[in-house]
């Protein structure tokens, strides 16, 4: 299936590993020119070297205004923006200070707002564009162990819908993708740490997670970054032109709902 992405210019934020890297890799495979983004030159260069196709890298911390301006100075025009940058951390609600709330909002919400606000006008002029926010099932089912993370993921869904509502019949689609538990770099490190602390195997920790923490999962395993990337890249395609203002679930059935 030709997704119509050849020579489209795409940015995937936070794409040196995990879901972002898988998205960047698949976009490049479909013929898009892809900008990889991360905070350090070392990680960006490594990711670029591992992707086949037309690819470049921009090292910039998009959680800050200064980092965003560095990106904007380097990359002038885009057809596709995938706002993947995000952080997570398990912390009891009463132990989350104001500074952490702000750190999560800057990383998970405001970074995507800044990037979209900068590149959307050109998309609107060309009457073609794709904007995607990588959200989470945690935006619908706020996890008690990381309320601040869940709140920012809910905000992403609202922002994506609001932008889509703002520009109807524009040729630019704006969607959010609700990802379930995924075996990304951060999750793998987290699971390995728990396994070491508890004297269990990674397999035991994963089984416990889906039995007790995410028992509603129908997949009963961690998704792979590639499985998430396949949906994201389809939403970037010509074939997905009728899908906009939507929250697309790639959550392994964790959300207990028929819609």
119 in catalytic set: no
For every residue of the chain, which 3-state class applies, written as one string?
CCCCCCCCEEEECCCCCHHHHHHHHHHHHCCCEEEEEECCHHHHHHHHHCCCCCEEEEECCCCCHHHHHHHHHHCCCCCEEEECCCCCCCCCHHHCCHHHHHHHHHHHHHHHHHHHHHHHHHHHHHCCEEEEEEEEHHHCCCCHHHHHHHHHHHHHHHHHHHHHHHCCCCCEEEEEEEECCECCHHHHHHHHHHHHHHCCCHHHHHHHHHHHHCCCCCCCCCECHHHHHHHHHHHCCHHHCCCCCCEEEECCCCCCCCC
Q: Which of 33, 149, 210, 222 is catalytic?
A: 149
Catalogue the active-site residues.
Answer: 149
């Amino acid at each position: 299936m030709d997704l119509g992405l050849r020579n489209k210019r795409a940015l995937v934020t936070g794409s040196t590993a995990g879901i972002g890297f898988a998205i960047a890799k698949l976009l490049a495979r479909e013929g898009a020119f892809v900008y990889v983004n991360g905070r350090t030159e070392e990680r960006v260069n490594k990711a670029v070297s591992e992707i086949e196709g037309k690819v470049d890298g921009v090292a910039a911390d998009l959680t800050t205004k200064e980092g965003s301006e560095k990106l904007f100075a380097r990359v002038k025009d885009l057809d596709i923006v995938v706002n993947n940058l995000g952080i997570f951390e398990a912390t009891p609600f009463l132990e989350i200070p104001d500074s952490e709330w702000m750190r999560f909002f800057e990383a998970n919400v405001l970074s995507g707002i800044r990037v979209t606000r900068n590149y959307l006008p050109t998309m609107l002029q060309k009457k073609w564009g794709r904007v995607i926010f990588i959200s989470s099932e945690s935006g619908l089912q706020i996890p008690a162990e990381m309320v601040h993370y869940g709140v920012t993921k809910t905000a992403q869904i609202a922002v994506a819908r609001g932008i889509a509502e703002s520009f109807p019949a524009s040729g630019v689609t704006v969607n959010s993708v609700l990802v379930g538990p995924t075996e990304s770099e951060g999750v793998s490190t987290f699971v390995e740490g728990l396994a070491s602390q508890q004297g269990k195997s990674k397999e035991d920790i994963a089984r416990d997670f889906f039995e007790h923490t995410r028992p509603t999962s129908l997949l009963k395993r961690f998704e792979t970054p590639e499985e998430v990337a396949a949906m994201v890249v389809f939403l970037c395609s010509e074939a997905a032109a009728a899908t906009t203002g939507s929250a697309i679930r790639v959550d392994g059935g964790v959300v207990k709902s028929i819609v």
